[in-house]
Structure 1
Amino acid sequence: MSKEIRQLEPKALWNKFADLNAVPRPSKKEERVIKFMKDFGHSLDLETIEDEVGNVIICKPATSGMEDRKPIVMQSHLDMVHQKNNDTEFDFDTQGIDMYVDGDWVKAKGTTLGADNGLGVATIMAILESDSIAHPDLEALFTIDEETGMTGAKGLKGGLLHGEILLNLDTEEDDEIGVGCAGGVDVTATRDYKEEDTPEIKLGYAIEVKGLQGGHSGMQIHEGLGNANKFMNRLLFDGFEKFGLRISEIDGGSLRNAIPRESKAIVAIDAVHESKFITEIKAHAEIIKTEFKTMEPDLEVLISKTETPEKIMELGVQEGITRALYAACNGVYRMSPDIPDLVETSNNIARVIVRDGQIKIGCLIRSSVESTKQDLANTLCATFELTGCEVELSGDYPGWAPNMDSAILKVMVPIYEQLNKGEQPHVAACHAGLECGILGTNYPDMDMISFGPNIKGAHSPDERAQISSAQKYWEFVLEILKHIPKKH
């Protein structure tokens, strides 16, 4: 696996990526990768510290001739999203990522690749290790838990860093220079319900939605990808009136920041309506497939007879929750009126769990405008509260307001144009959560920018990194480091 990857150019980058991907690094479980990074810093005899929350900072003095340049911070996050296909046997807690080369792309076998944000981490590691790459005073900041709450960035105290410019390496389009991003908030709706004994006249069936692409719930929310939780709710809606359908269990989606690819429900139906149930569910599934045939060509809806469940959800709660899920906003809520083609506010209905007398629905709202974020949060709260749920808002983090007068932006744009035969970069804000907005709360005077190589399908098992783009990006990084502005 890693031998093939290690032969790719630039070798300094891909070798460090292979080293990193051998270390399990799920969000909230970063102990091993924190130790790995600290050991790396110590092996280079560089000042290496771990802060109170687990962020790692490695400091490297300026190379000869660069001492008069502004000190910089290069930043990436250590954790990665863990997603795998249902038919892939893989333990993220113990195994390294199994990578392979497919043409111009590096992919993983049935799992997420970890290029988000592993290629950024590997870039910084390669620069720290090099004795030939020119750079000013450098603080390498490796944050934790970016994917599930940004607690690393939130916990980083002011005064630890002394850099004047921050290069965030967490953008996924190589022609884009990021100058802003969305903030976010988690919306979690819960309620208890009474379980009832399943009547003897009922038959058990399993309904499974699978084969969806999934993807990044920020960067891809505008693409019209299917949401397995929404699809499942369409199939279950009004099922009681048609065939006496009663819900026993639902398990849909996985991570808050991933568009749900799969959902499974266990239901009980009236035996007398069995034939009608199968016919109508299949017909409804075909309608959904037709609607999404362009975006979701591999969508499957499977219906299979199963053991009749012992318990079912009380009917009033079932009717209320299916209607609430139908009413709840999913996808784009508002486009930006100021920045062309930018999603301003969106929601991802990420997780739906119905089991053992408890309902839990998890959503992630993203927005570059705080007031609109709160407006959508109120909309979701009202929707779920009307059906008896308690709703909690958590994990709120700020957006990053664009600064079009950024000094480092004025350096990077002409470098990009020079390297790419006059092509202009796309200077933009993104509809994803970058750590810049949070870091800026304790470092308000730091000039921040974000960029990176082409990464597609992040947060899904289809995640892939483009080899030719990594070469383009690496050259860009090296030129930026050479041209950091001088100190005042």
Structure 2
Amino acid sequence: MEITQLEPQIIWKNFAALNAVPRPSKKEGKVIEFIKNFCENLGLETNVDEIGNVIIKKPATSGMEDRKSIVLQSHLDMVCQKNSDINFDFETQGIEMEVDGDWVKAKGTTLGADNGLGVAAIMSILESNDIPHPALEALFTIDEETGMTGAMGLKPGQLQGQILLNLDTEEDDEIDIGCAGGIDVTATQNYELEESKGQIIKIEIKGLQGGHSGMDIHKGFGNANVILGRLLFTGLYSQNIQLISIDGGGLRNAIPREAFAVLSVRNSIEFIEDANVLRKAILEEFADVEKDLAINIETFSTPEKAISEENSARIILALKALHNGVYRMSPDVADLVEASNNVARVELKNGELKILNLSRSSVESTKFAVAEQLKAVCELAGMNVEFSGSYPGWKPKPGSEIVKLMETIYEKDFGSKPHVVACHAGLECGIIGANYPEMEMVSFGPTIRGAHSPDEKANIPSVQKFWGFLKEILADIPAKN
């Protein structure tokens, strides 16, 4: 079945049109122009602010003029991840989609349902002529996935709405009222190269499922960079290791699925024998959760320049010591991860090292506790460490009027209570709320699985459910005070 024939057709039509437009984070020029043209062709007031956010205004439908005004908000950019055997250019190609039972997925790449389905839903409301709604502002932000610079650059006074509906949650039975903040932790160092003195080994780690470094961090998924660190450590004190290159992971907000390393060792046969003992143990550890994990350790014929044994040891020790995964569970909210870290990217090339982390927490003090622990480890290893991109969390307000309204509608329509939750992902609500403290905010959306990985897929019945829920919320928004 064609994507555009799925119900509700208006959503899938707009999602398909959106997904035909390349939209990597920090390279949103094409999608900004796409949204701008879409809204101007509808005759709606459309503005692009100085940072690239697109803001559209649509008057209330007849009889809804006295209701509280609404901001519908989603982000235009998407996480760009692909399987290593897929030839795909996210800057020039549209996403190739297919229907698989009750799911829509992409062919070997991220789908962009995060947050493309939210964007498509807002587009559908904007172009509709028969959906009752109060006065609307649509806010399409940029660069949510790699810095939230769109939300950070949104100035006070640009929005007049009283309630913000963020359409960027990935479980259709959840109403999200809080989220974690985050900070980027980057370690770097340059090393002199020398001739490699031993035998060359190549390590390949593939087949991990990856996932969202916030929403999936507690699920026990494998991190390719962490596994690589374990394998390197096993030969550290016996093999005179010299590192030649490392290429592990990708974006900060994606759990690394693959990692590759080339290194020099004293005795390749001994190293492979010892590493294979650990390899077997790791495969057994992850047998239930990472069924496609593959670890290959083999000799490599090309001798290359390497960094010294001393500097190699410092890097290996750092990789072994860096905290990855859950740092602390919330003592206040059941089953909520309070703080975590993702060792997202490790790159060593021509003597230049970069280690990229994303630390998250719903509590500012523990966010910096995690970041400072990483800084301490890396500085002990002789690296330079920088913090950047810090953004605040979003404090829950469970008793707000919009939350109560949505709970009532959900229970009436679906016969059960929704889960009112806070999440460990980074939503833009906390940042926007800093400039609009009086605005009520809530986040919800259709069910999406595997976000930030090539396994990303969107549930078709859930999109139908979400669309009906959104329309009823807009129709039932209360009158202004």
Relative to the length of structure 2, the TM-score reads: 0.99
The partner residue of 1:479 within 432, 452, 472 is 472
Alignment partners' CA distance in 1, 2:307 and 2:223: 23
The partner residue of 1:216 within 203, 212, 219 is 212
Report whether the alignment pairs 1:112 with 2:110: yes
The partner residue of 1:18 within 12, 16, 34 is 16
Q: State the secondary structure of the residue aligned to 1:180.
A: coil
Moved more, 303-312 or 120-129: 303-312
Within 5 Å, give how 1:127-142 maps onto structure 2: 127-142=125-140
Alignment partners' CA distance in 2, 1:157 and 1:38: 19
Who is 2:290 aligned against? Answer: 296
Report whether the alignment pairs 1:245 with 2:241: yes
Paired residues of 1:289 and 1:299 also in contact (CA < 8 A): yes
Alignment partners' CA distance in 1, 2:435 and 2:283: 48
Alignment partners' CA distance in 1, 2:466 and 2:304: 57
The partner residue of 1:228 within 224, 230, 235 is 224
Letter of the structure 2 residue corresponding to residue 241 of structure 1: Y
Alignment partners' CA distance in 2, 1:446 and 1:26: 29
The partner residue of 1:195 within 193, 196, 211 is 193
Paired residues of 2:234 and 2:275 also in contact (CA < 8 A): no
The partner residue of 1:467 within 450, 457, 460 is 460
Report whether the alignment pairs 1:205 with 2:198: no
Moved over 6 A (4+): none
Letter of the structure 2 residue corresponding to residue 476 of structure 1: F
Paired residues of 1:248 and 1:309 also in contact (CA < 8 A): no
Alignment partners' CA distance in 1, 2:219 and 2:211: 10
Relative to the length of structure 1, the TM-score reads: 0.97
Q: How far is the alpha carbon of 1:240 from its aligned partner?
A: 4.1
Paired residues of 2:241 and 2:312 also in contact (CA < 8 A): no
The partner residue of 1:277 within 271, 288, 291 is 271
Q: State the secondary structure of the residue aligned to 1:433.
A: coil
Q: How far is the alpha carbon of 1:219 from its aligned partner?
A: 0.2
* Residues 255-312 of structure 1 deviation map (CA, whole Å, 9 limit, x = unaligned): 0000000000011223xx2322222222211110001111111100112332333211
Paired residues of 1:195 and 1:313 also in contact (CA < 8 A): yes
Moved more, 313-322 or 75-84: 313-322
* Residues 352-407 of structure 1 deviation map (CA, whole Å, 9 limit, x = unaligned): 11121221110000000001111111111111111111110000000000011211
Paired residues of 1:267 and 1:309 also in contact (CA < 8 A): no
Letter of the structure 2 residue corresponding to residue 441 of structure 1: A
The partner residue of 2:418 within 408, 422, 425 is 425
Q: State the secondary structure of the residue aligned to 2:238.
A: helix
Q: State the secondary structure of the residue aligned to 1:187.
A: strand
Letter of the structure 2 residue corresponding to residue 434 of structure 1: L
Unaligned runs of 5+ in 1: none
Report whether the alignment pairs 1:340 with 2:338: no
Paired residues of 1:208 and 1:264 also in contact (CA < 8 A): yes
Paired residues of 1:266 and 1:309 also in contact (CA < 8 A): no
Report whether the alignment pairs 1:388 with 2:388: no
The partner residue of 2:356 within 357, 362, 367 is 362
Letter of the structure 2 residue corresponding to residue 137 of structure 1: A
Paired residues of 2:241 and 2:309 also in contact (CA < 8 A): no
Alignment partners' CA distance in 2, 1:305 and 1:92: 34
Alignment partners' CA distance in 2, 1:78 and 1:135: 23
Who is 1:308 aligned against? Answer: 302
Who is 1:371 aligned against? Answer: 365
State the aligned residue count: 481
Paired residues of 2:235 and 2:275 also in contact (CA < 8 A): no
Paired residues of 1:70 and 1:163 also in contact (CA < 8 A): yes
The partner residue of 1:457 within 450, 467, 481 is 450
Alignment partners' CA distance in 1, 2:368 and 2:203: 35
Alignment partners' CA distance in 2, 1:18 and 1:307: 46
Report whether the alignment pairs 1:436 with 2:429: yes
* Residues 15-53 of structure 1 deviation map (CA, whole Å, 9 limit, x = unaligned): 100010000000000000000000001100000000010
The partner residue of 1:94 within 86, 92, 96 is 92
Q: State the secondary structure of the residue aligned to 1:236.
A: helix
Paired residues of 1:205 and 1:308 also in contact (CA < 8 A): no
Q: State the secondary structure of the residue aligned to 2:61.
A: coil
Who is 2:50 aligned against? Answer: 52
Paired residues of 1:268 and 1:308 also in contact (CA < 8 A): no
Moved more, 412-421 or 305-314: 305-314
Moved more, 319-328 or 368-377: 319-328
Alignment partners' CA distance in 2, 1:317 and 1:246: 8
Paired residues of 2:343 and 2:357 also in contact (CA < 8 A): yes
Alignment partners' CA distance in 2, 1:338 and 1:409: 20
Letter of the structure 2 residue corresponding to residue 266 of structure 1: V
Q: How far is the alpha carbon of 1:169 from its aligned partner?
A: 0.1
Alignment partners' CA distance in 2, 1:240 and 1:142: 49
Who is 1:265 aligned against? Answer: 261
Letter of the structure 2 residue corresponding to residue 65 of structure 1: G
Alignment partners' CA distance in 2, 1:269 and 1:357: 17
